[in-house]
Chain A
């Protein structure tokens, strides 16, 4: 099972920051507008125009960097990265080169299924830059003109560059999930991959075991991965491909220039991309149109105060306070802050974190999914759902019937009590239950014989019969009474 190599993965993630306006002009960043309707002289890069930094963009970037445990530079500046492309109207992208505003942070990842150990993934740097526009090429390249839409040009992007700390495709995916969750909790990005507000590039190579020790293979950059699943598959594919190439060529890191490959999501392969040598000479230099930014300790602590409870801390709190398992806390926290708040209220009201967790994860989340709504649009308040949970806890209703009641509550908006009453559900008296059991035992000697010979599951038949006679009986309690009575025979 163990492979003769270690996979080394580092990820570069670009996220669009949730500002109203672009990084250097006041055009809208809203997704989906008709082409070239959200542009102005500044983001078209017209002669004479100048950039002015969006305060909110810097604030969101700072907040994210602090949440990623980054060190914040007290002095940062803006550089021009120069290359020609039709969706880059100024002929340069305003970015950060040698003095990014933040560096050297980390993000902790874990696997609720324990397929790898908890670990910290280093963050080399996070910096702010502007996005380019969009180029649309014809299906058959070269047949028609390419079309350029500059609506996206100038949208604020945060580029987060990780250390090459991931050792498997699974870890890469876990890092991305945790990062996305963090950004969502911070409210700095909507992280919508379909709309391009989160984009991932990967750097991968292998450390191959050889008689002379570990040998690093050339690094390959993989692009065009449009989902976390695609990242996972691309990394798995690349690791295999690297090893094959290694076996054929024995090329080491530094032997060949860095290659760029694109992931083909349909064919499940990566393909080499053409790369002109001169195109990587970006001629960075400080943008004379923008002034430096100096960040004070006070601003950093203000950013830290604005973070709120982050996913990792939240998971720990749910586990410690409400006694749920890491797997459950992971599901709840991943479902978002709103759902967590719902769960916490329900757990506190019912006093049973595990029961609350089950109901939220199964019934509530399923309903949200079916109705395609968020938790704040969900019909039942925690207090209402808690009434149902109490009925379960009191043995008034079994889980199966409670589900039916739940569905009716969601549909009608009636309280648990009202639905139960309408459905004739009421708690059956203990003496009534004993009477019913005695009746059934008398009428089914064969089954009783089976039970006595050790086949406890035979009791199920009696419980089924009991429910036909009185649908309100609690099957759990019924089973206890049957076994008790048979045992005394």
Chain B
């Protein structure tokens, strides 16, 4: 079997046993990238040489019998919103096209310390705003199962590269479903940890109270392995929680006994695709056959999740993105052209006798800000900045932002109540399988509603996992989502692993991956 079809856990075993070298393995993935990424476009940058050098160095250390990290020699792909010291970190945005951070994100430092081989930075929706990766300023990523379709988003590149056998594992971020949704649509396993489980230091912020970094991989076992490296307290992130990190990889194979699985009544209503519903119900039946009891539960405020999210996230985003002003880093408009434009505007107004209007023109600094940001941000980012700015502006705070924070509390309470009755909540990741590229680009609201089943976990701060539970007639992956009480990632991983040991959906590959 082709190396790239092996799980990370299997690869690690072979590396440790000396059956393969990291250079050999890295070359295999780079080869797959070289052959198929021109069509998939999962990567914004592939660090071919550095990855090979790093792999060689790890191989050397292994030969010399020196101590090695947890992921020694395993390639990992990184969503391009995690800062990598001295290397471009663009967030798929023109405004950061030339930005090279002077520091590593905490999770990057952890991956380096674990001796992972960082092979490249993956494509995403600009600043993680979107659900299709079509909002990247640089390229549109395709779904490896159907190149006409979106891979989901915003971590579309991270999901697609794992689905396409271009990396055994990748790192993404999830603000409203950005790990789980593309994992579901690409047929891989992706976990959004509890808020605070993984340090956000070095994660370019979209919505700070919702963002969380998490792993994507082929299997629950691999996901457990990567999460073990990513998770942990970080004194540089005030919102990272000082709790010990369980040995996820050691317990992941233990099945959960007497599992109580909740099915959310409201998730099976209008809008849910029939094939998706059938696959999810089938997956639930699998759990039942494994001894789980199924309970009908209600999350009554879940239907307000998207509305709540599309207030809170843009408000925080409008503030987080204020720093991109062309002063200290990032894109700045051409000042000569700008000065000429202002002068021309002024003289036109003056000539027309519109002195008041001429006087009211923005000063050069304000114009520099506005012009730089207009050139640097794409339409979706601008839309969210506008929404957030509006919702926080004088007179609207209580009606929008404060209201949304209160509904957020109600959503959290729903979960607390539900988790009094069940251990995990199961349901669909998305209402449909991957849609066609371009299908929803002109309808922002329709695009927002794609997050229906995923946003509530971010609002509540709880963890969730997505993994394949079937395929549509058209051959597109269908995902199952499990959600757990705070800091029960171990439960999520064990439940996913239970399922994967009983089924083989996760072992299917798109045709571009050699057998």
Binding site for B on A (CB under 8 A): 41, 44-53, 80, 82, 84, 86, 89-92, 146, 148, 150, 281, 283-285, 288-291
Stretch with Cβ within 8 A of A (4 or more), from B99-107, B279-287, B465-473, B491-499: B99-107
Chain B nearest CB: distance from A149 CB in Å? 12
Chain B nearest CB: distance from A147 CB in Å? 11
- In the bound complex, residues from chain A placing their C-beta under 8 Å from that of B239 are 50, 288-289, 291
The CA of A149 and the CA of B318, in the complex, are separated in Å by 25
The CA of A474 and the CA of B314, in the complex, are separated in Å by 87
Q: Is the CB of A48 within 8 A of B319?
A: no
B268 within 8 A of A: no
The CA of A71 and the CA of B103, in the complex, are separated in Å by 41
Interface flags for B61-105 (1: CB within 8 Å of A; 0: not) read 000000000000000000001110000010100001001011101
For this complex, 15 residue pairs linking A to B, each with C-beta atoms less than 8 Å apart, are: A45-B328, A46-B101, A46-B102, A46-B103, A46-B329, A47-B89, A47-B205, A47-B323, A84-B366, A89-B323, A150-B328, A283-B319, A283-B392, A285-B401, A288-B207
Q: Is the CB of B203 within 8 A of A48?
A: yes
B389 within 8 A of A: yes
Chain B nearest CB: distance from A400 CB in Å? 65
The contact of A52 among B204, B236, B366, by CB within 8 Å, is: B236
A290-B238, A291-B238 in contact; A283/B105 too (CB < 8 A)? Answer: no
The contact of B236 among A44, A50, A291, by CB within 8 Å, is: A50
Chain A nearest CB: distance from B44 CB in Å? 15
The CA of A90 and the CA of B204, in the complex, are separated in Å by 13
B369 within 8 A of A: yes
B273 within 8 A of A: no
B126 within 8 A of A: no
- In the bound complex, residues from chain A placing their C-beta under 8 Å from that of B83 are 46-48
Q: Is the CB of B365 within 8 A of A86?
A: yes
Chain A nearest CB: distance from B515 CB in Å? 40
Q: Is the CB of B201 within 8 A of A48?
A: yes
Q: State which residues 195-243 of B face A: CB under 8 Å.
A: 200-205, 207-209, 235-239
Q: Is the CB of B201 within 8 A of A50?
A: yes
The CA of A489 and the CA of B81, in the complex, are separated in Å by 107
Centre residue among A47, A52, A53, A146 by max chain B CB count within 10 A: A47
Chain A nearest CB: distance from B373 CB in Å? 10
A47-B89, A288-B209 in contact; A91/B323 too (CB < 8 A)? Answer: yes
- In the bound complex, residues from chain A placing their C-beta under 8 Å from that of B203 are 48
Q: Is the CB of B322 within 8 A of A289?
A: no
The CA of A103 and the CA of B401, in the complex, are separated in Å by 26
- In the bound complex, residues from chain A placing their C-beta under 8 Å from that of B327 are 86, 89, 148
The contact of B205 among A48, A86, A91, by CB within 8 Å, is: A48
Chain B nearest CB: distance from A386 CB in Å? 54
Counting from the closest, the 7 A-B pairs by CB-CB distance are A91-B322, A288-B209, A288-B208, A283-B392, A47-B204, A48-B202, A48-B83
Q: Is the CB of A285 within 8 A of B397?
A: yes
B460 within 8 A of A: no
The secondary-structure label for the interface of chain B is: loop
A47-B205, A91-B325, A291-B239 in contact; A82/B319 too (CB < 8 A)? Answer: yes
Q: State which residues 97-119 of B face A: CB under 8 Å.
A: 99, 101-103, 105
Centre residue among B99, B105, B318, B322 by max chain A CB count within 10 A: B322
The CA of A289 and the CA of B196, in the complex, are separated in Å by 11
The CA of A82 and the CA of B239, in the complex, are separated in Å by 21
Interface flags for B324-347 (1: CB within 8 Å of A; 0: not) read 010111000000000000000000
Q: How large is the interface on B (under 10, 10 to 19, 20 to 34, 35 or more residues)?
A: 35 or more
The CA of A341 and the CA of B83, in the complex, are separated in Å by 55
A91-B322, A283-B393, A291-B239 in contact; A47/B101 too (CB < 8 A)? Answer: yes
The contact of B322 among A41, A48, A84, A148, by CB within 8 Å, is: A84
The CA of A281 and the CA of B397, in the complex, are separated in Å by 11
Residue of B nearest to A289 (CB): B208
Chain B nearest CB: distance from A101 CB in Å? 16
- In the bound complex, residues from chain B placing their C-beta under 8 Å from that of A84 are 322, 325, 366, 369
Q: State which residues 170-203 of B face A: CB under 8 Å.
A: 200-203
The CA of A90 and the CA of B205, in the complex, are separated in Å by 12
Q: Is the CB of A49 within 8 A of B201?
A: yes
The CA of A80 and the CA of B392, in the complex, are separated in Å by 11
B37 within 8 A of A: no
The CA of A82 and the CA of B323, in the complex, are separated in Å by 10
Chain B nearest CB: distance from A92 CB in Å? 6
The CA of A41 and the CA of B329, in the complex, are separated in Å by 11
Chain B nearest CB: distance from A36 CB in Å? 10
- In the bound complex, residues from chain B placing their C-beta under 8 Å from that of A150 are 328
The CA of A53 and the CA of B239, in the complex, are separated in Å by 12
The CA of A47 and the CA of B85, in the complex, are separated in Å by 12
Q: Is the CB of B201 within 8 A of A45?
A: no
B125 within 8 A of A: no
Residue of A nearest to B365 (CB): A86
B315 within 8 A of A: yes
- In the bound complex, residues from chain A placing their C-beta under 8 Å from that of B316 are 285, 288
Q: Is the CB of B322 within 8 A of A90?
A: yes
Q: Is the CB of A50 within 8 A of B238?
A: yes
Chain A nearest CB: distance from B111 CB in Å? 15
- In the bound complex, residues from chain A placing their C-beta under 8 Å from that of B329 are 44, 46-47
Q: Is the CB of B201 within 8 A of A281?
A: no
Interface flags for B355-369 (1: CB within 8 Å of A; 0: not) read 000000000011001
Chain A nearest CB: distance from B102 CB in Å? 6
Chain B nearest CB: distance from A196 CB in Å? 21
Residue of B nearest to A287 (CB): B208
Residue of B nearest to A280 (CB): B394
A84-B325, A89-B328 in contact; A48/B238 too (CB < 8 A)? Answer: no
- In the bound complex, residues from chain A placing their C-beta under 8 Å from that of B81 are 48
- In the bound complex, residues from chain B placing their C-beta under 8 Å from that of A44 are 328-329
The CA of A150 and the CA of B203, in the complex, are separated in Å by 23
- In the bound complex, residues from chain B placing their C-beta under 8 Å from that of A281 are 393-394
Chain B nearest CB: distance from A184 CB in Å? 32
Residue of A nearest to B95 (CB): A47
Q: State which residues 385-413 of B face A: CB under 8 Å.
A: 389, 392-394, 397, 401
Q: Is the CB of B319 within 8 A of A80?
A: yes
The contact of B102 among A41, A45, A53, by CB within 8 Å, is: A41
Chain B nearest CB: distance from A489 CB in Å? 91
Chain B nearest CB: distance from A51 CB in Å? 7
- In the bound complex, residues from chain B placing their C-beta under 8 Å from that of A52 are 235-238
Chain B nearest CB: distance from A121 CB in Å? 31
The CA of A53 and the CA of B203, in the complex, are separated in Å by 19
The CA of A47 and the CA of B315, in the complex, are separated in Å by 17
The CA of A285 and the CA of B322, in the complex, are separated in Å by 14
- In the bound complex, residues from chain B placing their C-beta under 8 Å from that of A91 are 319, 321-323, 325
The CA of A392 and the CA of B204, in the complex, are separated in Å by 75
Residue of A nearest to B322 (CB): A91
- In the bound complex, residues from chain B placing their C-beta under 8 Å from that of A41 are 101-103
The contact of B200 among A50, A89, A148, by CB within 8 Å, is: A50
Chain A nearest CB: distance from B58 CB in Å? 26
Interface flags for B145-188 (1: CB within 8 Å of A; 0: not) read 00000000000000000000000000000000000000000000
Q: Is the CB of B89 within 8 A of A82?
A: no
Residue of A nearest to B83 (CB): A48
Chain B nearest CB: distance from A394 CB in Å? 66
Q: Is the CB of B393 within 8 A of A48?
A: no
The CA of A49 and the CA of B89, in the complex, are separated in Å by 13
Chain A nearest CB: distance from B459 CB in Å? 12
- In the bound complex, residues from chain B placing their C-beta under 8 Å from that of A51 are 238
Q: Is the CB of B323 within 8 A of A283?
A: no
Interface flags for B480-513 (1: CB within 8 Å of A; 0: not) read 0000000000000000000000000000000000
The CA of A86 and the CA of B329, in the complex, are separated in Å by 12
The CA of A146 and the CA of B363, in the complex, are separated in Å by 13
Residue of A nearest to B316 (CB): A288
Chain A nearest CB: distance from B57 CB in Å? 26
Residue of A nearest to B103 (CB): A41
- In the bound complex, residues from chain A placing their C-beta under 8 Å from that of B208 are 288-289
The CA of A290 and the CA of B240, in the complex, are separated in Å by 10
Q: Is the CB of A50 within 8 A of B237?
A: yes
- In the bound complex, residues from chain A placing their C-beta under 8 Å from that of B393 are 281, 283
